[in-house]
Structure 1
Amino acid sequence: MKLSQFGPGALVAAAFIGPGTVITASLAGANYGYALLWALLFSVVACLILQEMALRIGIVTQQGLGENIRANLTNPLTRAFFIALVFAAVVIGNSVYQGGNLSGASMGLAGLFGELTWPAIGLTSGWPIIVGGTAFAVLWTGNARFIEKALIGLVLLMSLSFIGTFFLTQPDLSRFFSGLLLPSLPTGATLTVVALIGTTVVPYNLFLHASSVAKKWRSPAQLKQAQADNLVSIPLGGLISMAVLATAASAFFGSQQSITSAADLATSLEPLFGVWAQYLMAIGLFAAGISSASTAPLASAYALSGIMGWSKNLKSRSFRLTWLAILVIGVFISSLGLEPISVIWLAQVANGVLLPVMVGFIWWLCNKPSLGHYKNRAWQNVLAGLVMLISLGLSAKSLINAFA
């Protein structure tokens, strides 16, 4: 498979390997060792199934999920419900989560170059502005192929950084494969398992994938290329998550030292494994932050443009204004160290409701006669049913957390 055939799958990998994933995997490894690696393997399989259905819809219909919602949901109330959910979960949600993406990239830069504060204008950190400016420059090009190449580069940088750190910490490979292939559930680990799956299986990636494959591949005859891209890129993203978890397990499980964030993991590795371990982890955290900081606004613009019937040309005013608004809000939140609790609560609730609703919608679309021989086969429906159960579990966890 040629490098030019990669792209949309790498966008999805770049999107789900963000600071939240790095933090969740780090805490899972530090608290439970290698025992929860199977949850990441399980999440990769679930993600592969769901994203394959989304990309199939995108290529066969030559439309994103937003357009398919408009075209297939003719009942005004049902359509309004979907629009409200997508707006709350994908657009508002990504606006506040963007602050976390920029903060994660900023932590990586601070680990490499030190803190950058601008107290004269009230900023606790200047790095988010620099990271946000970089994401702006990438997205403003309006060149889908350039954006793909930039994000493929960031995925490769994350791979080298996190997998390099994995080898530097010399993990116990027998325990690694035991945790990967023999599921176990340590006491108190249930919510961590759900969180590990939830960082990989996320609603906005469905919009991102369906729209980006429709731009890249113009015929259902090219479906196998998109599926190959999916089969390589998603497992690579999962491998990165596993490397982070195993690094934290090797360095901190069973020790007296605790970590509360990915930044703690990066700085704590130096005295144990040398300065290169810290640098590699910091570079990986920067790449994870900036990749998510670029893909989250892009996914939101695809979703909102599709569902509202706006132009999806990457250079159109409405498309640019959508991702720009999300990027600016994220920079503002991250630079000032704000914690917009009520907005995050709304996004969490909307995400919890949206995921199973979108899984059900995609499952329904993939069984419509209009897809011809590209619709789901019996075994694909069995797998889709399994993913539906997973999404209901993630939804319940998200809603319980929000209302608790």
Structure 2
Amino acid sequence: MTRTPRTQTRRQLPRPRLKAFLGPAFIAAIAYVDPGNVAANITAGARYGYTLVWVLIASNIFAMVVQYLSAKLGIVTGQSLPEVLGKRLSKPTRIAFWAQAEIVAAATDLAEVIGGALALNLLFNIPLLWGGVIIGVVSLGLLMVQSDGHQRRFEAIIVALLIVITCGFLAGLFVTPPDWAATASGLVPRFAGTDSVLVAASMLGATVMPHAVYLHSTLVNDHPTQQTDTAHYLRATRIDVLWALSLAGIVNTGLLLLAAVALQGASGTDTIEGAHAAILSSFGPAIATIFAVGLLASGLASTSVGAYAGSEIMSGLLHIRVPLLVRRLVTLIPALVILAFGVEPTWALVISQVVLSFGIPFAIIPLMAYTRNPEIMGKHSNGRVLRIVAGVIAGVIVALNIALIYLTATGAA
């Protein structure tokens, strides 16, 4: 469904209070605290202590700019990024673009279903395959809430899960606080050898998830406050993005600090299972259980958001709306197949992140081009400073993802 672009006549409508605008960025922020991020940040802290804190700070700043631009495109045009692309690409190009986006959606679901299945295995010793099925069924229930037109209720559920994720991943820091002086020193950009460069590239290069970029431009137009005037909505969206991505940044930094406190130098902590075992040994069963609950919430929330994004991508590019049940099954099957064949979960997570890397330029580059184009954005097109900042961010993210793909393909990873 094509949404009506915003017009000058809407500027006279009453302005809702700020809290009415909060929500879309919190759903997008789930992409930044998914199981893949958990694995990457724990690995960084366990191997290099506080050294790579600065990478997370830089990643978070990049994410804020990218997600704001996605929301801005949706607010100003009244269309999602896939819809804008769908109107400007030829049919063969649209289909090819959709195909790569669909592969990215499947890779996203792979990481998130596997992470949720791991959490159920850690909590209840449920076999990974059945854990993946349970995650898929529960996420479908969450999607049914959204598809029934209860956007605010869906947002409330996702925010609640985000709170659970935050508590689950940060609880250990209240038991054993990090070395704050060492944390501050980690803000100084530096590396600890060649291997740490690769880890940093993985952390930064995989920060911006393609599905979150596509989806945020949809979320702002599905929001109940979408009819307010454009300038006011943009100001409120900046606050929404700041709060949501700041929370995601705190969670990711907390994971790294938790690993630096309890896991540094420990063996076997380069897998989620190994990290959980080390947390159990260092903090006790209560904190280990809370961590696993946070991982479960991460898997449930992120796989729901990923399937939602896949539906919007198909609608925008192919002008086809497929029932969410079908969408859920299509993207769930590859993850279940991998779990059924007994592939090592953390290795599967790594491969999924490499696949995601292929899709990032296809989302980032058009977004930067469209939001700077006055023909599309009118007077809200990006100013000179924002164009430069956005261009640098896009260049860094794309270059790091190319490096990550190259290093993985050549065996350096």
TM-score of the aligned structures, taking structure 1 as reference length: 0.87
Match of 2:170 among 134, 157, 163: 163
Within 2, Cα distance between the matches of 1:262 and 1:91?
27
Quick one: which of 46, 71, 74 aligns to 2:87?
71
Q: Which amino acid aligns with 1:151?
A: I
Task: Read off the aligned partner of 2:54 and give its amino acid letter.
Answer: W
- Residues 369, 375 of structure 1: 8 Å contact kept: yes
- Superposed CA RMSD in Å reads 2.5
CA contact (8 A) 2:110 2:334 kept: yes
Say which is worse superposed, 43-52 or 139-148, in terms of deviation: 139-148
> 2:269 aligned with 1:262, yes or no?
no
1:289 equivalenced with 2:289 (yes/no): no
**Corresponding position: 1:51 with 2:56:** no
Q: In structure 2, what is the equivalent of residue 103 of structure 1?
A: 114
> Residues 335-373 of structure 1: CA distance to partner in whole angstroms, max 9, x if unpaired?
553579xx9999777644432343221121112223122
The 3 A distance-change label for structure 1 pair 209 and 193 is same
Counterpart in the other structure of 1:271 = 281
Structure 1, residues 52-79: CA drift from partner, whole Å, max 9, x if none?
A: 1111001111111111002233xx3xx6
Conservation of the 8 A alpha-carbon contact between 2:201 and 2:401:
no
Query: Corresponding residue for 1:314?
Result: none
Distance in 1 between residues matched to 2:335 and 2:46, nearest whole Å: 29
Deviating above 6 A after TM superposition, structure 1's stretches of 4 or more consecutive aligned residues are: 343-350
Percent sequence identity over aligned pairs: 24
**One-letter identity of the residue aligned with 2:40:** T
Aligned to 1:358: 363
Output the CA distance in 2 between the equivalents of 1:137 and 1:174.
45
Match of 1:218 among 227, 243, 258: 227
- Residue number in structure 1 paired with 2:12: none
Task: Work out whether residues 81 and 217 of structure 2, in 8 Å CA contact, stay in contact via their aligned partners in 1.
Answer: yes
The alpha carbon displacement at 1:98 in A equals: 1.9
Is the Cα contact below 8 Å between 1:9 and 1:229 reproduced in 2? yes
Superimposed CA distance per residue, residues 225-262 of structure 1 (whole angstroms, 9 cap, x where no aligned partner): 22211111011111111111110111122x34331212
C-alpha separation between the residues in 2 aligned to 1:46 and 1:175? 24
Unaligned runs of 5+ in 1: 118-123, 312-316
Residue 228 (1) aligns with residue 272 (2) = no
Residue 175 of structure 1, CA deviation: 0.7
Q: Which residue of 2 is the match for residue 280 of structure 1?
A: 290
- Paired residues of 1:34 and 1:175 also in contact (CA < 8 A): yes
Displacement of 1:36 in angstroms is: 0.3
Contact 2:68 2:238 in 1 (8 A): yes
SS of equivalent residue, structure 1 residue 205: helix
Distance 1:240 1:347, change over 3 A: closer
Q: Deviations over 1:97-138 (max 9, x none)?
A: 42331221122223223x124xxxxxx542222221110111
**Matches of 2:120 and 2:66 in 1, distance apart?**
34
Provide closer, same or farther for how the CA distance between residues 331 and 274 of structure 1 changes in structure 2, counting only shifts above 3 A: same
Residue matched to 2:256: 245
* Deviates further, 376-385 or 319-328: 319-328
Q: Give distance in 1, aligned partners of 2:352 and 2:272.
A: 23
Unaligned runs of 5+ in 2: 1-16
Measured at CA, do residues 172 and 346 of structure 1 come closer, stay the same or move farther in structure 2, by a change above 3 Å? Answer: closer
Residue 369 (structure 1) aligned to one of 359, 370, 374:
374
In structure 2, the residue matched to 1:151 is 158
- The alignment's TM-score, normalised by the length of structure 2, stands at 0.85
Q: Distance in 2 between matches of 1:68 and 1:96?
A: 24
Separation of aligned partners in 2, 1:305 and 1:344: 27
Q: 1:303 aligns with which of 313, 323, 327?
A: 313
Question: Could you say which residue in structure 2 is the equivalent of 1:131?
Answer: 135
Q: Deviations over 1:147-190 (max 9, x none)?
A: 211111111111111122222232111111221x2111110211
2:31–2:212: 8 Å Cα contact kept in structure 1?
yes
Separation in 1 of the partners of 2:39 and 2:277? 14
Distance of aligned partners of 1:308 and 1:346 in 2 relative to their CA distance in 1, 3 Å threshold:
farther
* Residues 1:334 and 1:293: Cα distance change in structure 2 (over 3 Å): farther
